[in-house]
Chain A
Amino acid sequence: MLDLKLLKELCCAKGISGDENAVRDLIIKNISDYVDEVNVDSMGNVIAFKKGANKPKLKLMLSAHMDEVGFIVTHITDDGLIKFTEVGGVDKQVIYGKGVTVGKNEIEGVVCVKPLHLLSSNERENVPSIEDMFIDIGAKTKNQALEIINLGDPIYFDSIFEEKNGVIKSKALDDRIGCYVLIDIIKSDIPYDMYFTFVVQEEVGLRGAKTASYTVAPDAAIVVEATTASDIPGVDEEKKVCEINKGAVVTFMDKRTIYDRELYNIACKSAENVGAKWQTKTMVVGGNDAGVIQSSRSGVKTIAISLPCRYLHAPVSLATCYDLEAVLNTVKETSKNIAGGLF
């Protein structure tokens, strides 16, 4: 049974890269009673250790990132409008005309839209560039805006969280589902000692995982992620990458990493052991923290197990409970087999 209340709390917590406090606090609150040690490093990564029933053959680290994509306030115009830039890769076609909140106090704002009636045909057909966008919080002047927001404040899309008929629609599934899976495993009885890292700043260059893996110095690592499913109209069959309702995604290669062949085979076999459906990515695209974990110190055997997820870098992404359970079961079994050296 999935703990949808916890998943909702994780997804609704706000944390763009470099501003993960709310997510970190929530995670620590949920794991403290179940781990033997938990520390926060100077970058803000949460590093937890939990003893298992047995001593492991391999020192294993499970990792998920806490941060999400969003925006940051860069400038206020004399008319009180906000200029902003992306934090992480937001698909620029999804920004225009969306509702947002700005800063810690969640000041309401909207991304302005030049009315359709006044557009040239060229403007009508092309995605506007972010340089031409403004966020309006209703301020009349720069000073009025600066009374309630600051340059550098984070900006988030308005979003929903819904689970209905097994379909989950929410912001930040990338990578709060990874955090969810790790928490779920931490709360269970584990067969071997393991390290769990909840890392910062994945979306701006895999930065947290670099220091966390240095600290833990594992022999092997499992990255638990959300990955793009493009099984939607308008995408050619061979570019779907992976599909929802087809199970956990075990990746052999992406733009950052060629995954360890042995661990890849263990992950696939582990999925089959527990009757979880699995698939692999059919295109070499994307990248995640595995890229820096694999090259940490003298090298770490690394694998990624991901949830297929549509619209990753949009206000609301979509995934299914069926796939999430497959990821959870696959990661559990894989972690047992790697830590126990059962291969």
Chain B
Amino acid sequence: MEELIFKLCQSSGVSGDEEDIGNLVTRELSNYAEVEKDVNGNIIAVMGNKDSKYHIMIDAHMDQIGLVITHIDENGFLKIASCGGIDRRVLAGATVKILGREEIFGIICCVPPHLSSTDNKIQAFGDITIDTGLEKENIEKVVSVGDRAVICSKGKRLLNNIIGIQALDNRASVAALIRCAEILSKDSINCKLTIILSVQEETSALGAQTASFLIEPDEAIIVDVSFAFQPGVPKEKSGIMGRGPMIGISPVLSKKISSDLINLSKTDNIPYQLEIMGGKTGTNADSISSSRTGIPCGLISIPERNMHTSVEEVSIDDIEYTARLLVSYIKKKGEENA
């Protein structure tokens, strides 16, 4: 499992440029399901009883936040914009990998404090620059405007089965879906199951919106990450890493699915926590639930520290629990609707 997660997180897939991660996910899921890619690049895997009238969709977005190169200046420095909600506070002095014709390392310029006129202020995106040390004519051989870049991060094994790496939002959930498919492939399910690894969640939720229209399922479970408790994060807005997935309760989610998930966790002894939201969930559930005539949605979130940085943290146990909860839920729905 750990190996799979690191592989997924080290694959690149900044919003709108999900080819690498899409190929990796296709290879992984092809062992268990029929896999296709749709017009926007969503990966769609179908398994279970394809003739069943009951059709469940599970979704996890596979894109990650990152940077996009917008300009190359006369000295070869690269100007950037954010692709998804990147945290500007972690950029100064960070090493980035530019995904050009070749991959090259760059450093995000940081003006030494004694030479800066904007002491203590975080730089705005127009002023943030990547330095590769190369002159304009040499950098232009490998990098073009529109290329993506990600902050470098090596996979870290922390204590208590916690891992730290970039893109756990949302590759942790992608790993849970792959694990779920693996378990289900050894079993029979009575309903039709479609697994969506969707694109462009971090920028607009485009992928999930068009995929749910295409698939038109009877219900959908969305898997994403949510806040784990840490300094600065209120207890009431967070789960605790390692204590199981967070089952979402919100006006936009199906109350029946939420309570079914809770009951199943109890009967199958899967640790879980609750995440209560007063409105939209900030996940693909918001757009999927209002697709066509409406799709009942459930939301399962994996608690994560340091969201939207290159040092996101997730407990591997929570990913495994999430996969088990999905398996239980899909099997039960299959039996009920056989």
Contact = CB atoms under 8 A, between A and B. Distances in A.
A5 interface: no
Contacts of A148: 159
A99 B307 contact: no
Nearest to A171: B95
B258 to A, nearest CB: 22
Contacts of B160: 138-140, 144
Given A139-B159, A230-B112, A160 B95 contact: yes
Nearest to A244: B133
Interface string B216-234: 0000000000010011111
A158 B154 CA distance: 8
Q: How large is the interface on B (under 10, 10 to 19, 20 to 34, 35 or more residues)?
A: 35 or more
Interface of B: 73, 75, 77, 85, 87-90, 92-95, 104-105, 107, 109-116, 120-123, 127, 129, 131-134, 138, 152-154, 156-160, 162, 164, 227, 230-234, 237, 282, 305-311, 313
Contacts of A96: 89-90
Given A96-B90, A116-B307, A230 B313 contact: no
Interface stretch (A206-214, A265-273, A314-322, A328-336): A314-322
A94 B89 CA distance: 8
A93 B109 CA distance: 11
Nearest to B165: A99
A297 to B, nearest CB: 32
B111 A113 contact: no
Interface in A91-124: 91-94, 96-99, 108-118, 124
Given A98-B90, A169-B95, 20 more contacts: A81-B231, A94-B92, A94-B93, A96-B89, A97-B311, A98-B311, A99-B156, A110-B313, A111-B311, A113-B306, A117-B282, A127-B92, A128-B89, A136-B306, A144-B160, A169-B105, A232-B129, A234-B109, A285-B114, A314-B107
A125 B121 contact: yes
A239 B308 CA distance: 34
B173 to A, nearest CB: 17
A237 to B, nearest CB: 12
Task: Classify the interface of chain A: helix, strand, loop or mixed.
Answer: loop
A126 interface: yes
A342 interface: no
Contacts of A92: 113
B154 A99 contact: yes
A125 B122 contact: yes
Nearest to B308: A116
Given A125-B122, A169-B107, A114 B232 contact: yes
B93 A311 contact: yes
Contacts of B112: 91, 228, 230, 312-313
A115 B310 contact: no
Contacts of A132: 231
A235 B111 contact: yes
A318 B129 contact: no
A139 B241 CA distance: 11
A252 interface: no
Contacts of A241: 115
B164 A239 contact: no
Interface residues of A, number: 62
B230 to A, nearest CB: 6
B230 A112 contact: yes
A128 B121 CA distance: 10
B230 A315 contact: no
Given A97-B309, A136-B158, A311-B107, A114 B93 contact: no
Contact of A94 (B110, B153, B282): B110
A164 interface: yes
A203 to B, nearest CB: 15
Contacts of B162: 138
A232 B131 contact: yes
Given A124-B122, A228-B112, A233-B129, A108 B306 contact: no
A143 B132 CA distance: 43
Contacts of A230: 111-112, 115
Contact of A91 (B113, B133, B282): B113
A127 B132 contact: no
A28 interface: no
A118 B87 contact: no
A114 B311 CA distance: 12
Contacts of B110: 91, 93-94, 311, 314
A307 interface: no
A134 interface: yes
6 contacts: A97-B87, A110-B158, A110-B311, A114-B231, A126-B122, A138-B158
B335 to A, nearest CB: 38
Nearest to B154: A158
Contacts of A221: none
Contacts of B89: 96-97, 113, 116, 124, 127-128
A112 B94 contact: no
